[in-house]
Amino acid sequence: MHFAQGFNLLIFVVCAFFVAPTAYADIYKYTDKRGRVILTDTPKNSKYVKLVKTWKGWEPLKTGTIRYNNLEQNRKKHSGTINVVADRYKLPKSLIHAVITAESAYDSDAVSRAGAVGLMQLMPGTAKRYGVSNRRNPYENISGGTQYLRDLLILYDNNLKLVLAAYNAGEGAVKKYNNTIPPYKETQNYVKKVIAYYNKYKQSMG
């Protein structure tokens, strides 16, 4: 794979940004037109909802929005399944963790406005393609998403940046721009930040 170097502490969800438990920087949440959830410490306008740090984790100040508390607990909860799937499809578990962190923050019930569901935010077509009948089932969802990553790695000759761009924006978008990362700010940020997560996780997970 073409691995990007360096680690930027600002992570974008799909890009999700989380700091160490002892940090107390303000974090803001925004859901874009595609239904993607963005967490950042630099809000651009009033549409960003401020999250507050509590002893339980990050919680929205506003009701009715997604909760991102207990991230580490949820990561541990799904680590066993991720290990099994990573071994089965011969992908780095750190890469799977990076994508899941960005896509859903380990929330198996996460649903986007676009209709993506589960830990790896599978769309109906992708789920059908990989035989996923229950997108909320952690094992099925991770298996489907991991197979998709594997096939994208083959399609793009292990170019991780293009793989992530296609996972975010679709293979058609990558093809439209002559096998380059589409000029969508969301996708460009997604690629950078998932790679940042990956670089972070592979130091501790391999």
User: Residue 59: what pLDDT?
Assistant: 37
Is residue 53 within a helix (H) or strand (E), and if so which, with residue range? strand 49-53
User: Residue 110: what pLDDT?
Assistant: 92
Backbone angles phi, psi at 105, to 5 degrees: 55, 35
User: Residue 39: what pLDDT?
Assistant: 66
Full set of structural domains in the chain with CATH: 71-205 (1.10.530.10)
Instruction: Give me the catalytic one of 59, 72, 103, 140.
Output: 103
Task: Please tell me the pTM assigned to this model.
Answer: 0.68
The number of beta carbons lying within 10 Å of the beta carbon of residue 156 is: 19
User: Residue 4: what pLDDT?
Assistant: 40
**Strand pairing partners for 15?**
38
- Catalytic, 103? Answer yes
- pLDDT digits over 58-78, tens only? 333 333 334 455 778 899 999
Residue showing tokens 């410490």: 41
Q: Give 10-residue mean pLDDT values along the chain (206 residues).
A: 37 37 50 71 72 38 44 91 98 97 93 91 95 98 98 97 96 95 95 95 85
User: Residue 82: what pLDDT?
Assistant: 98
